[in-house]
Structure 1
Protein backbone atom coordinates (compact mmCIF):
# COMPACT_ATOMS: atom_id res chain seq x y z
CA UNK A 1 0.00 0.00 0.00
CA UNK A 2 0.96 3.64 -0.35
CA UNK A 3 1.21 3.98 3.43
CA UNK A 4 3.71 1.09 3.55
CA UNK A 5 5.84 2.68 0.83
CA UNK A 6 5.82 6.03 2.61
CA UNK A 7 6.77 4.36 5.91
CA UNK A 8 9.71 2.63 4.20
CA UNK A 9 10.84 5.87 2.55
CA UNK A 10 10.86 7.61 5.92
CA UNK A 11 13.40 5.05 7.09
CA UNK A 12 15.87 5.88 4.31
CA UNK A 13 18.08 8.93 4.67
CA UNK A 14 20.69 10.15 2.22
CA UNK A 15 23.61 12.52 2.67
CA UNK A 16 22.58 15.98 1.44
CA UNK A 17 25.90 16.51 -0.33
CA UNK A 18 26.90 13.14 -1.77
CA UNK A 19 23.50 11.47 -2.09
CA UNK A 20 24.90 8.36 -0.39
CA UNK A 21 22.51 6.37 1.79
CA UNK A 22 23.51 6.99 5.40
CA UNK A 23 20.52 5.52 7.22
CA UNK A 24 18.43 2.45 6.43
CA UNK A 25 15.79 1.88 9.12
CA UNK A 26 13.15 -0.62 8.01
CA UNK A 27 12.16 -2.36 11.21
CA UNK A 28 8.74 -4.00 11.40
CA UNK A 29 8.19 -3.92 7.63
CA UNK A 30 7.45 -7.64 7.17
CA UNK A 31 10.63 -8.02 5.09
CA UNK A 32 11.43 -11.61 4.05
CA UNK A 33 14.34 -13.43 2.44
CA UNK A 34 18.08 -13.05 2.85
CA UNK A 35 20.23 -9.96 3.16
CA UNK A 36 21.59 -9.13 -0.32
CA UNK A 37 25.36 -9.16 -0.80
CA UNK A 38 24.94 -5.77 -2.50
CA UNK A 39 24.26 -4.30 0.93
CA UNK A 40 28.04 -4.13 1.33
CA UNK A 41 28.21 -1.38 -1.32
CA UNK A 42 26.34 1.07 0.96
CA UNK A 43 29.62 1.99 2.60
CA UNK A 44 28.41 5.36 3.93
CA UNK A 45 25.74 3.78 6.15
CA UNK A 46 25.88 4.82 9.80
CA UNK A 47 22.62 3.10 10.81
CA UNK A 48 21.28 -0.23 9.58
CA UNK A 49 18.10 -1.15 11.44
CA UNK A 50 16.17 -4.17 10.14
CA UNK A 51 14.72 -5.43 13.43
CA UNK A 52 11.38 -7.23 13.78
CA UNK A 53 11.12 -8.60 10.25
CA UNK A 54 11.16 -12.15 8.87
CA UNK A 55 14.65 -12.03 7.37
CA UNK A 56 16.49 -15.35 7.24
CA UNK A 57 19.66 -17.08 6.03
CA UNK A 58 23.20 -16.34 7.13
CA UNK A 59 24.54 -12.92 8.03
CA UNK A 60 26.72 -12.03 5.01
CA UNK A 61 30.41 -11.25 5.47
CA UNK A 62 29.85 -8.07 3.42
CA UNK A 63 28.44 -6.43 6.57
CA UNK A 64 32.08 -5.88 7.48
CA UNK A 65 32.38 -3.44 4.55
CA UNK A 66 29.99 -0.99 6.24
CA UNK A 67 32.90 0.58 8.09
CA UNK A 68 31.03 3.74 9.15
CA UNK A 69 28.23 1.88 10.93
CA UNK A 70 27.42 3.09 14.43
CA UNK A 71 24.20 1.11 14.91
CA UNK A 72 23.58 -2.40 13.58
CA UNK A 73 20.19 -3.79 14.61
CA UNK A 74 19.29 -7.16 13.07
CA UNK A 75 17.40 -8.48 16.08
CA UNK A 76 14.08 -10.34 16.06
CA UNK A 77 14.47 -12.10 12.72
CA UNK A 78 15.23 -15.69 11.66
CA UNK A 79 18.95 -15.38 10.90
CA UNK A 80 21.00 -18.54 11.37
CA UNK A 81 24.63 -19.63 11.14
CA UNK A 82 27.57 -17.93 12.81
CA UNK A 83 28.16 -14.32 13.75
CA UNK A 84 30.50 -13.18 10.93
CA UNK A 85 34.07 -12.42 11.99
CA UNK A 86 34.09 -9.61 9.41
CA UNK A 87 32.18 -7.47 11.93
CA UNK A 88 35.58 -6.76 13.53
CA UNK A 89 36.04 -4.05 10.86
CA UNK A 90 33.15 -1.95 12.21
CA UNK A 91 35.35 0.18 14.43
CA UNK A 92 32.73 2.94 14.83
CA UNK A 93 30.04 0.55 16.07
CA UNK A 94 28.31 1.67 19.26
CA UNK A 95 25.31 -0.72 19.33
CA UNK A 96 25.20 -4.31 18.02
CA UNK A 97 21.81 -6.00 18.39
CA UNK A 98 21.51 -9.58 17.11
CA UNK A 99 19.14 -10.96 19.75
CA UNK A 100 16.17 -13.24 19.11
CA UNK A 101 17.51 -15.05 16.06
CA UNK A 102 18.80 -18.59 15.51
CA UNK A 103 22.51 -17.81 15.44
CA UNK A 104 24.86 -20.64 16.39
CA UNK A 105 28.57 -21.30 16.87
CA UNK A 106 30.75 -19.38 19.29
CA UNK A 107 30.97 -15.65 19.99
CA UNK A 108 33.81 -14.36 17.77
CA UNK A 109 36.70 -13.15 19.93
CA UNK A 110 37.38 -10.48 17.26
CA UNK A 111 34.36 -8.53 18.54
CA UNK A 112 36.86 -7.39 21.17
CA UNK A 113 38.20 -5.03 18.45
CA UNK A 114 35.02 -2.91 18.59
CA UNK A 115 36.38 -0.46 21.15
CA UNK A 116 33.48 2.02 20.88
CA UNK A 117 30.83 -0.61 21.56
CA UNK A 118 28.43 0.31 24.37
CA UNK A 119 25.68 -2.28 23.91
CA UNK A 120 26.17 -5.88 22.79
CA UNK A 121 23.03 -8.00 22.68
CA UNK A 122 23.35 -11.60 21.49
CA UNK A 123 20.60 -12.95 23.75
CA UNK A 124 18.14 -15.70 22.84
CA UNK A 125 20.16 -17.43 20.14
CA UNK A 126 21.86 -20.84 20.06
CA UNK A 127 25.41 -19.70 20.77
CA UNK A 128 27.85 -22.16 22.35
CA UNK A 129 31.38 -22.14 23.78
CA UNK A 130 32.96 -19.78 26.29
CA UNK A 131 32.67 -16.01 26.59
CA UNK A 132 35.90 -14.86 24.88
CA UNK A 133 38.37 -13.14 27.22
CA UNK A 134 39.05 -10.60 24.45
CA UNK A 135 35.55 -9.20 24.93
CA UNK A 136 36.77 -7.75 28.23
CA UNK A 137 38.86 -5.29 26.18
CA UNK A 138 35.61 -3.39 25.48
CA UNK A 139 36.23 -0.71 28.09
CA UNK A 140 33.26 1.44 26.95
CA UNK A 141 30.76 -1.44 27.07
CA UNK A 142 27.74 -0.54 29.21
CA UNK A 143 25.32 -3.38 28.50
CA UNK A 144 26.22 -7.01 27.81
CA UNK A 145 23.25 -9.28 27.17
CA UNK A 146 24.12 -12.92 26.47
CA UNK A 147 21.20 -14.68 28.17
CA UNK A 148 19.22 -17.53 26.65
CA UNK A 149 22.07 -19.28 24.84
CA UNK A 150 24.11 -22.43 25.51
CA UNK A 151 27.31 -20.68 26.57
CA UNK A 152 29.64 -22.76 28.72
CA UNK A 153 33.05 -22.54 30.36
CA UNK A 154 34.18 -20.10 33.03
CA UNK A 155 33.82 -16.33 33.07
CA UNK A 156 37.02 -14.55 31.93
CA UNK A 157 39.33 -13.64 34.83
CA UNK A 158 39.57 -10.17 33.29
CA UNK A 159 35.87 -9.24 33.75
CA UNK A 160 37.12 -6.36 35.92
CA UNK A 161 38.17 -4.55 32.72
CA UNK A 162 34.51 -3.83 31.90
CA UNK A 163 34.76 -0.64 33.95
CA UNK A 164 31.80 1.07 32.19
CA UNK A 165 29.42 -1.88 32.51
CA UNK A 166 26.01 -1.16 34.08
CA UNK A 167 24.12 -4.32 33.08
CA UNK A 168 25.39 -7.91 32.80
CA UNK A 169 22.73 -10.45 31.80
CA UNK A 170 24.01 -14.05 31.62
CA UNK A 171 20.98 -16.06 32.75
CA UNK A 172 19.84 -19.30 31.07
CA UNK A 173 23.22 -20.61 29.94
CA UNK A 174 25.59 -23.41 31.00
CA UNK A 175 28.35 -21.31 32.60
CA UNK A 176 30.64 -23.03 35.11
CA UNK A 177 33.14 -22.32 37.84
CA UNK A 178 33.50 -19.31 40.13
CA UNK A 179 32.77 -15.62 39.58
CA UNK A 180 36.20 -13.94 39.20
CA UNK A 181 37.22 -11.67 42.09
CA UNK A 182 37.95 -8.86 39.61
CA UNK A 183 34.17 -8.34 39.27
CA UNK A 184 34.47 -6.07 42.33
CA UNK A 185 36.01 -3.45 40.01
CA UNK A 186 32.70 -3.01 38.19
CA UNK A 187 31.60 -0.07 40.33
CA UNK A 188 29.03 1.14 37.77
CA UNK A 189 27.21 -2.20 37.63
CA UNK A 190 23.57 -1.78 38.68
CA UNK A 191 22.21 -5.16 37.56
CA UNK A 192 23.59 -8.67 37.13
CA UNK A 193 21.56 -11.79 36.36
CA UNK A 194 23.23 -15.21 36.54
CA UNK A 195 20.12 -17.31 37.17
CA UNK A 196 19.76 -20.78 35.66
CA UNK A 197 23.44 -21.56 35.23
CA UNK A 198 23.40 -24.78 37.33
CA UNK A 199 27.18 -25.28 37.37
CA UNK A 200 28.10 -21.70 38.27
CA UNK A 201 29.47 -21.57 41.83
CA UNK A 202 28.36 -18.38 43.56
CA UNK A 203 28.65 -17.17 47.14
CA UNK A 204 25.76 -14.68 47.34
CA UNK A 205 27.12 -12.87 50.41
CA UNK A 206 30.55 -12.51 48.86
CA UNK A 207 29.03 -11.21 45.61
CA UNK A 208 26.86 -8.71 47.49
CA UNK A 209 29.93 -7.43 49.33
CA UNK A 210 31.84 -7.11 46.05
CA UNK A 211 28.95 -5.28 44.34
CA UNK A 212 27.11 -3.38 47.10
CA UNK A 213 25.16 -1.10 44.72
CA UNK A 214 24.18 -3.84 42.32
CA UNK A 215 20.86 -5.69 42.04
CA UNK A 216 21.84 -9.37 41.91
CA UNK A 217 19.62 -12.11 40.50
CA UNK A 218 20.93 -15.62 41.05
Structure 2
Protein backbone atom coordinates (compact mmCIF):
# COMPACT_ATOMS: atom_id res chain seq x y z
CA UNK A 1 0.00 0.00 0.00
CA UNK A 2 2.82 2.39 -0.81
CA UNK A 3 0.51 4.86 -2.56
CA UNK A 4 -2.19 4.92 0.12
CA UNK A 5 -2.69 8.43 1.52
CA UNK A 6 -5.89 8.06 3.54
CA UNK A 7 -6.93 5.36 6.02
CA UNK A 8 -10.53 5.52 7.27
CA UNK A 9 -11.56 2.76 9.70
CA UNK A 10 -14.28 4.74 11.49
CA UNK A 11 -17.71 3.42 12.55
CA UNK A 12 -17.10 -0.28 12.02
CA UNK A 13 -18.28 -3.57 13.45
CA UNK A 14 -15.45 -5.53 11.88
CA UNK A 15 -14.73 -8.97 13.31
CA UNK A 16 -12.38 -11.87 12.68
CA UNK A 17 -9.04 -11.06 11.09
CA UNK A 18 -10.05 -7.40 10.78
CA UNK A 19 -11.10 -7.02 14.40
CA UNK A 20 -10.62 -3.38 15.49
CA UNK A 21 -10.32 -4.24 19.17
CA UNK A 22 -6.54 -4.20 19.35
CA UNK A 23 -3.85 -1.53 18.95
CA UNK A 24 -3.87 1.13 16.25
CA UNK A 25 -3.23 -0.30 12.79
CA UNK A 26 0.06 0.90 11.32
CA UNK A 27 -0.53 3.03 8.19
CA UNK A 28 1.91 3.71 5.34
CA UNK A 29 4.27 6.64 5.91
CA UNK A 30 2.54 8.62 3.15
CA UNK A 31 -0.83 8.65 4.94
CA UNK A 32 -2.50 12.08 4.89
CA UNK A 33 -5.71 11.33 6.82
CA UNK A 34 -5.81 8.73 9.61
CA UNK A 35 -9.41 8.22 10.75
CA UNK A 36 -10.26 5.41 13.20
CA UNK A 37 -13.04 6.78 15.37
CA UNK A 38 -15.89 4.85 16.98
CA UNK A 39 -14.21 1.49 17.38
CA UNK A 40 -12.85 -0.48 20.35
CA UNK A 41 -9.17 0.14 19.81
CA UNK A 42 -6.99 -0.22 22.90
CA UNK A 43 -3.48 0.55 24.06
CA UNK A 44 -1.37 3.68 23.79
CA UNK A 45 -0.66 5.89 20.81
CA UNK A 46 2.52 4.22 19.49
CA UNK A 47 5.75 6.02 18.67
CA UNK A 48 5.36 5.48 14.93
CA UNK A 49 2.76 8.27 14.92
CA UNK A 50 5.68 10.70 15.14
CA UNK A 51 6.88 9.55 11.69
CA UNK A 52 3.70 10.58 9.85
CA UNK A 53 5.13 13.95 8.95
CA UNK A 54 2.60 14.85 6.23
CA UNK A 55 -0.48 13.88 8.23
CA UNK A 56 -3.37 16.38 7.94
CA UNK A 57 -6.01 14.68 10.13
CA UNK A 58 -5.65 12.39 13.14
CA UNK A 59 -9.09 11.27 14.36
CA UNK A 60 -9.05 8.55 17.05
CA UNK A 61 -12.13 9.62 18.97
CA UNK A 62 -14.47 7.29 20.87
CA UNK A 63 -12.22 4.28 21.39
CA UNK A 64 -10.65 2.68 24.47
CA UNK A 65 -7.19 4.11 23.97
CA UNK A 66 -5.19 5.05 27.07
CA UNK A 67 -1.75 6.01 28.34
CA UNK A 68 0.26 9.20 28.01
CA UNK A 69 0.18 11.26 24.86
CA UNK A 70 3.47 11.16 22.92
CA UNK A 71 5.62 14.26 23.31
CA UNK A 72 5.68 14.73 19.54
CA UNK A 73 1.97 15.44 19.51
CA UNK A 74 1.35 18.87 18.07
CA UNK A 75 4.69 19.17 16.30
CA UNK A 76 5.25 15.97 14.31
CA UNK A 77 3.54 17.22 11.15
CA UNK A 78 3.64 20.65 9.55
CA UNK A 79 0.37 19.80 7.81
CA UNK A 80 -1.79 18.65 10.74
CA UNK A 81 -5.08 20.58 10.85
CA UNK A 82 -7.34 18.20 12.84
CA UNK A 83 -6.43 16.48 16.12
CA UNK A 84 -9.44 14.67 17.61
CA UNK A 85 -8.80 12.31 20.52
CA UNK A 86 -12.01 12.84 22.48
CA UNK A 87 -13.78 10.00 24.25
CA UNK A 88 -10.81 7.85 25.30
CA UNK A 89 -8.89 7.16 28.52
CA UNK A 90 -5.73 9.18 27.99
CA UNK A 91 -4.18 10.49 31.22
CA UNK A 92 -1.31 12.63 32.44
CA UNK A 93 -0.68 16.12 31.11
CA UNK A 94 -1.17 17.44 27.60
CA UNK A 95 2.25 17.87 25.94
CA UNK A 96 3.38 21.48 25.77
CA UNK A 97 4.78 21.04 22.27
CA UNK A 98 2.45 22.87 19.90
CA UNK A 99 4.81 24.66 17.54
CA UNK A 100 4.77 28.07 15.91
CA UNK A 101 3.04 28.38 12.56
CA UNK A 102 0.91 25.33 13.39
CA UNK A 103 -1.92 24.64 10.95
CA UNK A 104 -4.17 23.09 13.60
CA UNK A 105 -7.74 24.30 13.19
CA UNK A 106 -9.51 21.72 15.39
CA UNK A 107 -8.19 20.27 18.66
CA UNK A 108 -10.60 18.10 20.66
CA UNK A 109 -9.22 16.28 23.69
CA UNK A 110 -12.47 16.20 25.68
CA UNK A 111 -13.75 13.26 27.72
CA UNK A 112 -10.40 11.87 28.81
CA UNK A 113 -8.51 11.71 32.14
CA UNK A 114 -6.03 14.55 31.69
CA UNK A 115 -4.79 16.61 34.62
CA UNK A 116 -2.63 19.69 35.07
CA UNK A 117 -2.87 22.95 33.18
CA UNK A 118 -3.67 23.98 29.64
CA UNK A 119 -0.39 23.89 27.68
CA UNK A 120 0.75 27.46 27.03
CA UNK A 121 2.21 26.48 23.66
CA UNK A 122 -1.37 26.46 22.29
CA UNK A 123 -0.81 30.18 21.83
CA UNK A 124 1.23 29.17 18.77
CA UNK A 125 -1.84 27.71 17.05
CA UNK A 126 -2.90 30.91 15.31
CA UNK A 127 -5.26 29.06 12.95
CA UNK A 128 -7.17 27.32 15.75
CA UNK A 129 -10.96 27.61 15.41
CA UNK A 130 -12.22 24.85 17.75
CA UNK A 131 -10.68 23.93 21.11
CA UNK A 132 -12.42 21.20 23.13
CA UNK A 133 -10.95 20.59 26.60
CA UNK A 134 -14.09 19.54 28.44
CA UNK A 135 -14.83 16.72 30.86
CA UNK A 136 -11.60 15.87 32.58
CA UNK A 137 -9.45 17.19 35.45
CA UNK A 138 -7.74 20.39 34.28
CA UNK A 139 -6.86 22.56 37.29
CA UNK A 140 -6.14 26.10 36.12
CA UNK A 141 -7.38 29.66 36.09
CA UNK A 142 -9.38 31.04 33.19
CA UNK A 143 -7.11 31.00 30.11
CA UNK A 144 -7.55 34.63 29.12
CA UNK A 145 -4.34 34.33 27.07
CA UNK A 146 -6.27 32.24 24.53
CA UNK A 147 -8.08 35.45 23.66
CA UNK A 148 -5.22 36.43 21.37
CA UNK A 149 -5.97 33.54 18.99
CA UNK A 150 -7.41 35.40 15.98
CA UNK A 151 -9.71 32.66 14.66
CA UNK A 152 -10.99 30.89 17.80
CA UNK A 153 -14.74 30.28 17.35
CA UNK A 154 -15.50 27.58 19.92
CA UNK A 155 -13.99 27.11 23.39
CA UNK A 156 -15.20 24.17 25.52
CA UNK A 157 -13.88 24.10 29.12
CA UNK A 158 -16.81 22.50 30.91
CA UNK A 159 -16.57 19.91 33.71
CA UNK A 160 -13.03 20.55 34.91
CA UNK A 161 -11.48 22.16 37.99
CA UNK A 162 -11.01 25.68 36.68
CA UNK A 163 -11.04 28.10 39.60
CA UNK A 164 -10.70 31.75 40.59
CA UNK A 165 -12.15 34.96 39.25
CA UNK A 166 -12.59 35.56 35.54
CA UNK A 167 -11.07 39.03 35.38
CA UNK A 168 -12.01 41.93 33.16
CA UNK A 169 -9.74 42.25 30.10
CA UNK A 170 -6.93 44.67 30.93
CA UNK A 171 -6.24 45.79 27.39
CA UNK A 172 -8.51 45.36 24.42
CA UNK A 173 -11.14 42.67 24.36
CA UNK A 174 -9.67 39.36 23.21
CA UNK A 175 -11.64 36.43 21.80
CA UNK A 176 -12.64 38.56 18.83
CA UNK A 177 -14.11 35.63 16.85
CA UNK A 178 -15.59 33.64 19.76
CA UNK A 179 -19.15 32.41 19.16
CA UNK A 180 -19.51 29.51 21.61
CA UNK A 181 -18.00 29.23 25.10
CA UNK A 182 -18.88 26.59 27.71
CA UNK A 183 -17.59 27.16 31.26
CA UNK A 184 -20.19 25.06 33.08
CA UNK A 185 -19.45 22.74 36.01
CA UNK A 186 -16.22 24.34 37.21
CA UNK A 187 -15.15 26.23 40.35
CA UNK A 188 -15.01 29.79 39.12
CA UNK A 189 -15.87 32.50 41.65
CA UNK A 190 -16.94 36.13 41.52
CA UNK A 191 -18.94 37.84 38.82
CA UNK A 192 -18.75 37.29 35.10
CA UNK A 193 -16.89 40.22 33.54
CA UNK A 194 -19.44 42.45 31.85
CA UNK A 195 -16.79 43.99 29.60
CA UNK A 196 -16.17 40.64 27.95
CA UNK A 197 -19.79 40.26 26.95
CA UNK A 198 -19.79 43.77 25.57
CA UNK A 199 -16.67 43.00 23.56
CA UNK A 200 -17.55 39.58 22.15
CA UNK A 201 -19.16 40.99 19.05
CA UNK A 202 -18.99 37.73 17.10
CA UNK A 203 -21.75 36.39 19.39
CA UNK A 204 -24.10 39.22 18.53
CA UNK A 205 -26.62 39.06 15.71
CA UNK A 206 -25.65 41.91 13.42
CA UNK A 207 -26.46 40.50 10.01
CA UNK A 208 -28.53 37.32 10.00
CA UNK A 209 -27.26 36.40 6.55
CA UNK A 210 -23.72 36.13 7.94
CA UNK A 211 -24.50 33.84 10.87
CA UNK A 212 -22.16 30.86 11.29
CA UNK A 213 -22.93 27.89 13.51
CA UNK A 214 -20.85 24.98 14.70
CA UNK A 215 -21.53 23.04 11.50
CA UNK A 216 -20.04 25.87 9.49
CA UNK A 217 -17.02 26.26 11.74
CA UNK A 218 -16.08 22.62 11.22
CA UNK A 219 -17.30 22.03 7.69
CA UNK A 220 -13.87 22.54 6.17
CA UNK A 221 -12.37 19.80 8.36
CA UNK A 222 -14.14 16.87 6.73
CA UNK A 223 -14.71 13.62 8.61
CA UNK A 224 -14.15 15.09 12.07
CA UNK A 225 -17.32 17.18 11.81
CA UNK A 226 -19.84 14.47 12.65
CA UNK A 227 -17.87 13.34 15.69
CA UNK A 228 -17.60 16.83 17.16
CA UNK A 229 -21.19 17.76 16.37
CA UNK A 230 -22.54 14.65 18.07
CA UNK A 231 -20.90 15.81 21.31
CA UNK A 232 -21.48 19.56 21.25
CA UNK A 233 -24.56 20.32 19.17
TM-score bracket, shorter-length normalisation: 0.7 to 0.9
Deviation track 1:127-168 (CA, whole Å, cap 9, x = no partner) reads 001123321111210000000000112225438311111101
Q: Residue 49 of structure 2 aligns to a residue in which SS? A: helix
Aligned to 1:108: 119
CA distance in 1, matches of 2:88, 2:47: 18
CA distance in 1, matches of 2:54, 2:16: 27
Aligned to 1:23: 33
Q: Residue 146 of structure 2 aligns to a residue in which SS? A: helix
Q: Residue 98 of structure 2 aligns to a residue in which SS? A: helix
Q: Which runs of 5+ in 1 are unaligned?
A: 191-218
Matches within 5 A, 1:18-57: 20-57=30-67
Aligned to 2:184: 171
Q: Which runs of 5+ in 2 are unaligned?
A: 1-13, 205-233
Relative to 1, partners in 2 of residues 1:51 and 1:92: Cα closer, same or farther, differing over 3 Å? same
CA shift for structure 1 position 5: 4.1
Q: Is the 8 A contact 2:101 2:126 kept in 1?
A: no
CA distance in 1, matches of 2:17, 2:145: 43
The match for 1:146 among 136, 139, 157 is 157
The match for 2:134 among 116, 123, 138 is 123
> For this pair of structures, how many residues does the alignment match?
184
- Give TM-score scaled by structure 2 length: 0.71
Report whether the alignment pairs 1:160 with 2:170.
Answer: no
Deviation track 1:44-100 (CA, whole Å, cap 9, x = no partner) reads 000000000000011111112123110000000000011110124571000000000
Matches within 5 A, 1:58-77: 58-63=68-73, 64-77=75-88
Relative to 1, partners in 2 of residues 1:108 and 1:3: Cα closer, same or farther, differing over 3 Å? same
Superposed CA RMSD: 2.6
CA distance in 1, matches of 2:52, 2:38: 21
